[in-house]
Amino acid sequence: MKKVLYLAFLFLISISFYSCKKTDNSGVYSSTNQNGFTVNSTFFNTEKAGIAIANDTFALIFYSTSVSFDQIEQEWKGIGHAVEFDELISSNIVNGFPVGNFIFYKNPQIGYFTEAASRTNYNFTADTGNERECVRGNINISKTGNQFQITYNLKNEDSSSLAGKFNGPIPDITNWFDGKNKNKD
């Protein structure tokens, strides 16, 4: 009887080790039900997001939890992944946030964004890593209550395709970029 219990115990431990999976920010695991983007069939997690607002112009950033913004130094720090949309111009605003479909276009006009870039395995402190600039693409933003549903598709300057999504609340981070640096004169 002890031998049967011992074998059953070993079997349960073996199953628990087998069923555990390792996750990290290296961009090699499944994108199912996760916020992030895919480049060349590799998924990169971007669990966090923020929006900066200046009248009818917006900047959106999606970034991994290993990255943060130092408000005193006024710079991004850490190593991780991010996608940034700048100069997103909207006249369709719901509760202060843009909604609709926006297309990449270099000349600023309503319904467009003028810049987008992605960074993978990027060291924001040292400013090194894989950075790709968008040459065409679109972003679709819908909002229900405080929840956003965002999908985006970009074609990058290196001919790679990027497809991503974000579902969840997006905090207003406009006050992060106040231009005040308490350590510098």
Q: How far apart are CA 26 and CA 121, in angstroms?
A: 7
The DSSP code for 177 is G
pLDDT at 96: 78
Single-letter amino acid, residue 22: K
Task: Give the whole-angstrom CA distance, residue 147 versus residue 168.
Answer: 5
Burial (CB count <10 Å: 0-12, 13-18, 19+), residue 39? buried
At residue 92, the pLDDT reads 81
Structure confidence at residue 54 (pLDDT): 86
- Return the SS3 of 170: coil
C-alpha 31/C-alpha 36 separation (Å) is 7
The residues near 39 (Cβ < 8 Å, ≥ 6 apart) are 118, 120, 132, 156, 160, 161, 162
Burial class (CB in 10 A: 0-12, 13-18, 19+), 102: buried
Q: Give the chain's residues under pLDDT 70.
A: 1-33, 178-185
pLDDT digits (tens, 9 = 90+) for 7-36: 333 333 332 323 333 333 344 444 456 899
pLDDT of residue 6: 34
DSSP 25: S
Residue carrying the six token digits 């039900």: 33
Q: Cα(first)–Cα(last) distance of the chain, in Å?
A: 77
Provide the 8-state DSSP code for 10.
Answer: H
Angle at 166 between CA 136 and CA 160, to 5 degrees: 35
